[in-house]
Amino acid sequence: MTEMISVHDLSVEFQLLQSKKWPWSDAAVLKAVNGVSFSVDAGKTLGVVGESGCGKSTLVRAIAGLVKPSAGTVTLEGKPVNYSSRADLQALRRRVQMIFQDPVASLNPRMTIREIVAEPLTMFFPEMDAEARTTRVHALLDRVGIPRRNANRYPHEFSGGQCQRIGIARALAAEPKVLLCDEPVSALDVSIQAQVVNLLQDLQRDMGLTLIFVAHDLGVVRHISDEILVMYLGGMMEKASADDLVNDPQHPYTRALLSAVPVPDPDAKLNPEVLDGDLPSPLNLPTGCLFQSRCPKRFDRCTEQRPQPRFVGERQKACHLEALTV
């Protein structure tokens, strides 16, 4: 297996503006991503889950170069990306494309879908003539199931699911190796979600794409991911193969997330490990374990020392408990 992309100890901080009311106060630092590491082999899918506000979008936006990492490295096809180099960023944007959560808002409302899909072609393949570009746009629209006779229409004339297909066609125009999918189906009707997920899987198979697929619950990602990374407050809690993570969740946070996935059996016993309380503010991270303030298994060490992710077989987990008995 060849590694396509890896992330080492990546952190992203946002410096918040000083309050106008209290100009002498220190500028606040919001720690959105805290030392995340992982790698994904070519053609594989890494699912990233965690509740809203856990830094999932910031993580993928940092990889895509849309926000600047404050520490850590991203390595693409064996070469570290220098986010301060324009040439590196240009090369990165060609090989790593994003699919956004809000499909309608992510398309320029003043452009026809032909122009939207053609834009990356003009940008990345300047030698392509107009005729070749049209042929390519039509092929891309065909591939995502949008009739080419609609190519001169505007995004508002399409449904959310269709807009996401157009966004996928646009991403594919760059001929990327990696697709970063940031909750690509969360805004769509449940009936449409499976179609878009299936389309992404078909494209992955045909083109050998590597996927990082973000979702706020495990329901969507468990079927399409080879491995799943569970994030909480910007940190990695657990990472394992999708089967191991779902069938034998070991981190208390993973167990709580799983208990939130709807079960088809209405008589199933409710899992007692439901999350209590709110997500703490990333402006003021808990001392010790990031999850300790909501963890049902917390003991002294959890409040004193931050557990580093460690390998247990193929699985990685950041937890002071040796192993939970299921």
Where on the chain is the footprint of Mg ion (CB under 5 A)?
Answer: 57
In this complex, which beta carbon is closest to ligand ADP, that of residue 59 or of residue 141? Answer: 59
d(CA 51, CA 260): 10
- Residue 276 Cβ vs ligand ADP, minimum distance, rounded to whole Å: 19
Binding mask 2-41 for ligand ADP (x = CB under 6 A): ------------x---------------x-x---------
Report the partner that residue 54 touches, choosing among ligand ADP, Mg ion, none (CB closer than 5 to 8 A by kind). ligand ADP
Binding mask 268-307 for ligand ADP (x = CB under 6 A): --------------x-------------------------
- Residue 152 Cβ vs ligand ADP, minimum distance, rounded to whole Å: 34
Nearest to 68 by CA among 49, 79, 81: 81
At residue 250, what are phi and psi to the nearest 5 degrees? -115, -30
- Residue 61 Cβ vs Mg ion, minimum distance, rounded to whole Å: 9
In this complex, which beta carbon is closest to Mg ion, that of residue 5 or of residue 48? Answer: 48
DSSP category for residue 313? T
Report the partner that residue 55 touches, choosing among ligand ADP, Mg ion, none (CB closer than 5 to 8 A by kind). ligand ADP
Site for ligand ADP in 69-108 (CB under 6 A): none
Is 53 an interacting residue with respect to ligand ADP (CB under 6 A)? yes
- Residue 304 Cβ vs ligand ADP, minimum distance, rounded to whole Å: 25
Please state, as a whole number, how many other Cβ atoms lie within 10 Å of the Cβ of residue 193: 18
DSSP string over 103-171: TTTTS-TTS-HHHHHHHHHHHH-TT--HHHHHHHHHHHHHHHT--GGGTTS-GGGS-HHHHHHHHHHHH
In this complex, which beta carbon is closest to ligand ADP, that of residue 52 or of residue 152? Answer: 52
Instruction: Decide: 312 and 293 in contact? Cβ < 8 Å.
Output: no
Report the partner that residue 282 touches, choosing among Mg ion, ligand ADP, none (CB closer than 5 to 8 A by kind). ligand ADP
Instruction: Decide: 16 and 48 in contact? Cβ < 8 Å.
Output: no
Nearest to 297 by CA among 308, 305, 289: 289
User: Which residue type is seen at 75?
Assistant: T
- Residue 57 Cβ vs ligand ADP, minimum distance, rounded to whole Å: 3
DSSP category for residue 293? G
- Residue 131 Cβ vs ligand ADP, minimum distance, rounded to whole Å: 41
- Residue 112 Cβ vs ligand ADP, minimum distance, rounded to whole Å: 30
State the residue for tokens 């959890």.
302
Q: SS in 3 state form for 250-285? A: CCHHHHHHHHCCCCCCCCCCCCCCCCCCCCCCCCCC
Is 52 an interacting residue with respect to ligand ADP (CB under 6 A)? yes
Cβ neighbors of 165 (< 8 A, separation 6 or more) are: 144, 145, 146, 196, 199
Which residues lie near ligand ADP (CB under 6 A)? Answer: 14, 30, 32, 50, 52-58, 282
